[in-house]
Amino acid sequence: MTDLDRTFSVAPMMDWTTRDYRAFARTLTRRALLYTEMVTTGAILHGSPRERFLGYDAVEHPLALQLGGSDAGELAECAAIAEAWGYDEVNLNVGCPSDRVQNNLIGACLMAHPDKVAAAVRAMRAAVSIPVTVKCRIGIDDQDEDADLARFIDTVAEAGCEVFIVHARKAWLDGLSPKENRDVPPLNYPRIHRLKARHPELHIGINGGLKTLDGCREQLRHVDSVMVGREAYQNPWLLAGVDRHLYGEPGPAASRHAAAEALRPYIASRLEEGARLNHLTRHLLGLFQGCPGGRRFRRHLSENAHRDGAGLAVFDDALGLVPAPEPALAG
């Protein structure tokens, strides 16, 4: 299995971890493992053009494709396509609580079907040489967080899965919205710590509620890796400290301004391809969070980037509203 350093990763998030966000993330961290949004098997097998669902920039590596699906044959076919496209990992979504995916037996509802997940993992591993991993919850609805999670992990690990990223809260599929599922069920970090202690042979990563690199370091005392979601998107400067604090290497961005400037050629190329400026800059709205001028930066982009013909001048004007110097790197 390909040896990826998973110490820190950015969680797959629908509508957020697009190729444009991932290119931006690379101006802040070289080392973090990045994940795509969840892409369904149906989109890959029947959508056109395939570039729309699988396209990425070479700078995004290391990069994992997250798949949504439950049919072993379709997942295996999509995993092979992902490998051919150059992805470094394929991850199966067993954590998303949305009604739309439940109805298609995708996401967290698969926690109730460990044998089906195991069959999918077995088929995917037979189809590719890149890692096949699973992102799951500690349980769903009335499942027992100890017995049912243990059964799920044991069953899927027996099929050859060596890497599990576990969101440290249950998903309540009956009665809570996807939004409520992000906050209402309580986090249970100790359960994942016990999972790692029970399975030293597996790579166990933890996800859910992590907001600081100090918090990540604390978790890395108990598990193999950390995955950060909303905080990495809403406060992207957090990523600027990842390489230094978690990998002991200098990161690519000396300042927030430098990160924004580093993305400028990418924005220019995407605009030439026909992308709209607001689709690109929406991912940067939190870059200057807490800085003098940060609100002006955000407001200028929000009010102007969506206009017809908006180009680099709008981006440059927004940057000009934020004075230097800036606070030190994230810690």
Q: How far apart are the first and last CA of the chain?
A: 32
Q: How far apart are CA 87 and CA 240, in angstroms?
A: 24
Establish how many alpha carbons lie within 13 A of residue 283's alpha carbon, considering only the half-sphere containing its beta carbon.
Answer: 25
Closest CA to 295 of 305, 304, 285: 285
Q: Is the C-alpha dihedral spanning 203, 204, 210, 215 positive or negative? A: negative
Q: How far apart are CA 151 and CA 314, in angstroms?
A: 54
Q: How far apart are CA 320 and CA 259, in angstroms?
A: 14
CB 8 within 8 A of CB 216: yes
Q: How far apart are CA 246 and CA 7, in angstroms?
A: 8
H runs (alpha helix) in the chain: 19-25, 41-46, 51-54, 72-85, 99-102, 114-127, 147-158, 189-198, 213-219, 230-234, 242-247, 256-272, 277-281, 294-304, 312-319
CB 69 within 8 A of CB 78: yes
Which phi and psi angles does 284 have, rounded to 5°?
Answer: -100, 0
Q: How far apart are CA 114 and CA 156, in angstroms?
A: 6
Which phi and psi angles does 100 have, rounded to 5°?
Answer: -60, -40
Q: How far apart are CA 44 and CA 257, in angstroms?
A: 37
Q: Which of 78, 96, 109, 161 is catalytic?
A: 96
The yes-or-no answer on residue 216 being catalytic is: no
Residue 195 Cα distances to 76, 200, 203, angstroms: 27, 9, 10
Q: Annotated catalytic sites, by residue? A: 96
